[in-house]
Amino acid sequence: MLSVEIRHAIDPQTAKSFDTAALRKNFHVGDIFRPSEIRLIYTHYDRMIVGGAVPAGESLVLDEVKPCGTASILDRREMVIVNIGGEGTVLADGEYVMAKGDMLYLGMGSGPVTFAGDGRFYILSAPAHHTYPSRLIRIDEAANMSLGAQETSNERTIYQFVHPDVMTSCQLVVGMTKLAKGSIWNTMPAHVHDRRMEAYLYFDLAENQRVFHMMGEPDETRHLVLKNEEGAISPPWSIHSGAGTGAYTFIWAMAGDNVDYRDVEMVSMETLR
């Protein structure tokens, strides 16, 4: 079963007037991992698609997605699939066996995508202009960097999978951040990047724990309270940062004008409101 929700772009002035319910309706990503279903959110931020597929012992096929306007989703798109569950298989232009934490890049024209096995598959897709080779990337093949410190509660390792230091894509840049024991903050100090949108997915969070995801303009911040396997759509004008009540990992994904991970505008602590 396939379901597709459309999210229109929201400007910062409109977002200032939103209450909690409106913020969650427009920016919260939740309930995308239902057994035997593929659930997608088609956003008007750089036409990014985020979603989930849970085969639950069946085979699920992702092919035509009407908002894309093509016969098959990858006719004019690229895709990254992240497995956050048990071992699973993805069939597209080849067959790929994925363990937890693996990321699979599928180039434009890879055909329909079939999900099987015990995986819980996080789906990201953006328009493409060229066909680059599909590639399965495991965590030991990812570039990585360590940031933060225990003293500031933000010691973390950033793993760059679909990234210029690892491989070539059209516009998707995707990675994973793991926080060290005792650290709770990610992406703080905060930044914005007006040339790219971003999407977050938090996972490996205990059922009774939560992440407070910070968003909004630097001088007009808001927050979303997220549980395990939930995330946020971050517009280009918004900060994207979070603090958890317990340990967690998150996947970050960008699409837009460039793939330069360093092309950001840092936000000073004095600016945040």
Sign of CA dihedral 119, 155, 230, 5: negative
CA dist., res. 136 & res. 262, Å (int): 24
The number of beta carbons lying within 10 Å of the beta carbon of residue 109 is 16
Euclidean distance between CA atoms 148 and 158, whole angstroms: 11
For residue 236, what are its two tokens? 């280009």
**191 annotated to a ligand binding site:** yes
SS3 26: helix
163 among annotated binding-site residues: no
198 is in an annotated binding site: yes
Q: Please say whether the beta carbons of 162 and 80 come within 8 A.
A: yes
Q: Edge-to-edge strands of the sheet including 143-147?
A: 28-29, 230-234, 196-203, 249-256, 173-179, 156-162, 143-147
d(CA 267, CA 77) in angstroms, rounded, equals 32
Annotated binding-site ranges: 191, 193, 198, 240
Annotated binding-site ranges for Zn(2+): 191, 193, 198, 240
